[in-house]
Amino acid sequence: MADFKVTELAEDLDFDSLPYWDVVIIGAGPAGLAASLTTAHRGLTTLVIEAKDKPGGQPQFLYPDKKIVDIPGFPDGISGEELSERTYRQAVDALVQFRFNDELVTIEDTDQLEKEDLLKRVVTKNGEYLCRKVVIACGLLHFPRKLPVVDALDSKNVYYKVPKIGDYENGHVVVVGGGDSAFDAAVMALERRGQVDVIVRGESPAAKADTVARVQQSGGRVHCTTEITSAEYDAGAMALTLSSGMQIRADTVIVQIGFLSAKETFQRLDVRLNDDGSIAVDPYFETSRHGLFAVGDVHGDIKLVTVAWAEGIQAAIYAFKEITSPYWLNEKRLRDQKISMIGDKITQAARVKGRKK
């Protein structure tokens, strides 16, 4: 039996005239998209705010062409781009609304009461949105770390995500970074007969050993303890000078040196944080502020797509039940606490009994 009564959103609903949204979701990655599908399919008006110009999150941004092989239902794997497009299309069909190229600033409490909920005001760089519940799913790592020395060239051939394979076929590609994403990019370029140099700042790559070996066996050159010290144009190509004194000409530069943390954004939300700067949540994915849920990478380590999906769905169901049954979550917490206390007493009694024997 389904855990909800299906209430389809009206096709002609004027979303632009809504006085408030049932749910606002921050982030259109796997967790955010899964949460949006779940709330919209339960008849809740749902708005997703995404900082980038397209949905998909890390699968779309970091490895659009790489096959993801651990997604149930896709025995031959599925690319990050296709997975993102499919999930986004499903959300649009469910009448989820999206605002791209917009970034969360803060979330304010209001004194406006609607159906036993005090509304929250989600403030972004481009607008403000009243809502009953918020699901934060923007990821722990927001934007890629920039490399100023190559950014100064203002080149369209400097990428902070892996470009489509055809974009660098037969070209000379320089990949900057020593992690898995950098070496995955190098493998893709080599598979398309590209010439590849990988610039690693550390003494050795942090990527998987078999991927590093694959790059080297395919003809890729790996430069460790090396950085790009200067960059300029030379006869239409990028001329890069390395700290070793070597000069390399590049048609394409792919920078994969990590991401900036979203900790500053989280601090503005006035929620309890973990020691690593991620958002602390309870077993129901609710933060220290009532009505604010957090799913996916925002509350800990980088997660598998399927784990992010599961968390997004669960949090969305909890938000739905809070909307349709006010105080449901508080009652569930009290019930769970009583069950836990009973369990502790039984355990303690068993220990005492064991000592008396």
Determine the residue type at 345.
Answer: K
pLDDT at 328: 65
pLDDT at 340: 57
| Band of pLDDT at residue 337, cut at 50, 70 and 90 | low
How far is Cα 70 from Cα 315, in angstroms, rounded to an integer?
23
Token representation of residue 48: 């997703």
How far is Cα 28 from Cα 152, in angstroms, rounded to an integer?
30
Top pLDDT among 262 and 353 is at 262
- Looking at the chain, the whole-number percentage of residues with pLDDT higher than 70 is 87
Token representation of residue 346: 């039984």
The gap between the terminal CA atoms of the chain, to the nearest Å, is 48
pLDDT digits (tens, 9 = 90+) for 130-164: 999 999 998 776 678 889 999 999 998 898 877 76
pLDDT digits (tens, 9 = 90+) for 10-41: 888 899 999 999 999 999 999 999 999 999 99
How far is Cα 316 from Cα 297, in angstroms, rounded to an integer?
16
| Band of pLDDT at residue 201, cut at 50, 70 and 90 | very high
194, 169 in Cβ contact below 8 A?
yes
Report whether pLDDT(166) > 80.
no
Top pLDDT among 160 and 327 is at 160
How far is Cα 232 from Cα 283, in angstroms, rounded to an integer?
52
Token representation of residue 129: 């949105």
How far is Cα 217 from Cα 194, in angstroms, rounded to an integer?
14
Top pLDDT among 52 and 40 is at 40
pLDDT at 278: 87
Burial of 330 (0-12, 13-18, 19+ CB in 10 A): exposed
25, 88 in Cβ contact below 8 A?
no
Domains of the chain, start order:
15-143+260-335 (3.50.50.60), 146-257 (3.50.50.60)
25, 135 in Cβ contact below 8 A?
yes
pLDDT at 256: 92
102-113 average pLDDT score: 93
pLDDT at 1: 39
Predicted TM-score (pTM) of the model is: 0.70
304, 31 in Cβ contact below 8 A?
no
Going by C-alpha positions, the residue among 26, 49, 20, 43 that lies closest to residue 117 is 20
40: left (phi over 0), alpha (psi -120 to 50) or beta: alpha
